[in-house]
Amino acid sequence: MNKLWILFILIIALGTILVLTISSRDRKNKKGQIVQAEEKIPTNTTKDLSITVSYDNNPYKERLTSTWGFSCVIRRAEKTILFDTGGDGSTLLTNMKKLGINPQEIDLVVLSHIHGDHVGGLTDFLEKNPEVVVYLPRSFPKGFKDKVKEYGAKIVEVQVSLKICQGVYSSGELGTWGKEQSLIIHTEKGLIVITGCAHPGIVKIVDMAKDLLKNDVLLVMGGFHLGRKSRGEIENIICSFRKLGVSYTGPCHCSGDTARQLFKEEYRENFINLGVGRVVTMDNLK
């Protein structure tokens, strides 16, 4: 009887240990998720900033060169950020100079995806300022990463969404074939989402940004990749924007003329006409 009682106690003890082990593992997993989520939820927002389009195929200021590609400079956040570098370094640097942007003031470079019209200007830029941290999707080729390191720049390989600096986040790699990251800025008025080409789908990116940071979307700007979409498809996307509560839109680069016109008709005074040289500030976003 005593032996049976001892055996029973041992079985109960082992069962308890097993349950505690599994429970502990679950808590670690949940804790990991919570920690990751807390890193994504900002404790502070960006109060004031300016976004200058330094490279685009849509003209805005006549003295600047407009050619296929995209790049913009985010100022007055915790760090000064160059998002994408256009297709040609000479054009990028010339436009930046005319806009009064010194390459030396850039702290971080964020590359949306591997296409040449978004990364083509990087090496020329790094010759002027290698003292930057380059955030790029992990899926970028090893040779590209090695080349960046040769200039002396540090790289951060992005796979999941992460905090870049105060109030500024990466969406993480989205998409299957053409993986791409977008930039999300958390402001006091809402989220600003900046896309390179939006290959994973512009609505998907906006929905993800809203879900990630649990806030309304103030502005979506950049390339929407709608140049080959039909009028009906674009109208459905605009409808989705409205359902997601997007207040302002600024399609440029690969968005296409039809999409730009339809967004303008829908958003009217809340349509931001973007092109190379355009500066968007918080005063433009009431």
pLDDT tens-digit map of 241-266: 999 999 999 999 999 999 999 999 99
Strand partners, 184: 169, 193
pLDDT top residue among 236 and 286: 236
pLDDT tens, residue by residue, 160-182: 999 999 999 999 999 988 899 99
Say if CB 229 and CB 202 are below 8 A apart.
no
**Cβ atoms 122, 85 nearer than 8 A:** yes
Which of 282, 259, 286, 260 shows the shortest CA–CA distance to 273?
A: 260
Q: How many residues does the chain have?
A: 286
Pairwise CA distance, residues 82 & 256, whole Å: 23
Q: Structural domain boundaries of the chain?
A: 47-281
User: In this predicted structure, what is the pLDDT of residue 44?
Assistant: 61
Architecture label for domain 47-281: 4-Layer Sandwich (3.60)
What's the pTM?
A: 0.85
First to last CA, the chain: 81
Q: How far apart are CA 221 and CA 238, in angstroms?
A: 13
Residue whose C-alpha is closest to residue 124's, from 170, 100, 92: 92
Query: Could you read off the pLDDT of 72-118 as tens digits, one per residue?
Result: 999 999 999 999 999 999 999 999 999 999 999 999 999 999 999 99
Residue 27 has pLDDT above 90, yes or no: no
